[in-house]
Amino acid sequence: MGKLDGKVIIVTGAGQGTGRGMAIALAREGAKVVVADINEKTGKAVAEEIRKLGKQAIFLKCDVGVEKEVKQMVDQSAKEFGPIDVMINNAQTLFTDYDPIESFPEARWDRTYQTGIKGTWYCCKSIFPYMKDRGGKIINFGSGWGIAGSPGWSDYAGCKEAIRGFTRTAAKEWAKYNIKVNVICPGIDSPSFRNFAAKNPNMVESKAKLGDPEKDAGKAAVFLSSSESDMFTGHTFHVGIGGIQMVQYP
């Protein structure tokens, strides 16, 4: 018996990195996993990878910055697998160029917030009807760089802190429905992080100890999706960020 046998779980941004690791870990524990991603090629590959493990998974294409696509994805997930137990809002566009506040590109700012805090809001709104009468778990994603501050990434840092504030509010508003809402702040060895580190070597320690997508992020996702976390809501969990240190620009 797996910890998540029979549970239906949506993971956005599950086509690579942290999202892929969580999707596989959840499936290994018996969950029926919806791999939601904007990238059809990688998303289908992850769903197929899960099925080769003898587990259940489907891929649904979705841009979390488009509310209509989010709602369609959630409704289709319920149609395929039944009522949804857990929503993991991992997807967000990440830009890796350094841009100071005084000359920050507005288009980049808007895309970050559209896929970040607004995408999280869209996902939560869309999942609420499926959890209102039976409870559920929602896992949102913040960032240690939002907590610490991130020179050159004011859009990302601000957006991730907005998600944490939104999460605490959702946890209080939806407690009466037995919907638990928490945040993971990851420091995971993923393609997006490696791309960021390569372009910005002075922003990350060379010996940063990064977590593993499946063993670390996956383990946290399993815990927050299972009955073991029933007494937790409105909390932030830092996962796999040992040794990472932001270095300030001069």
Domain extent listing, the chain:
8-239
In the chain, which residues have pLDDT < 70? 188-189, 194, 196-197, 199-209, 241-250
Is 156 in contact with 203 (CB distance < 8 Å)?
no
Say how far apart CA 142 and CA 238 lie, in whole Å: 9
What is the structure's pLDDT at 205?
59
Burial class (CB in 10 A: 0-12, 13-18, 19+), 57: buried
Is 57 in contact with 47 (CB distance < 8 Å)?
yes
Side chain identity, residue 232: F
What is the structure's pLDDT at 212?
83
Is 31 in contact with 8 (CB distance < 8 Å)?
yes
Per-residue pLDDT of 154-195, as tens digits, reads 999 999 999 999 999 999 999 999 999 999 998 766 777 767
What is the structure's pLDDT at 250?
34
Q: Judge if pTM exceeds 0.85.
A: yes
CA distances 71 to 111, 133, 136, 165, 245, Å, are 19, 18, 17, 23, 37
CA distances 157 to 48, 137, 143, 148, 192, Å, are 34, 25, 7, 8, 16
CATH of 8-239, picked from 3.30.420.60, 1.10.15.40, 3.40.50.720, 2.60.40.10, is: 3.40.50.720
Q: Annotated catalytic sites, by residue?
A: 156
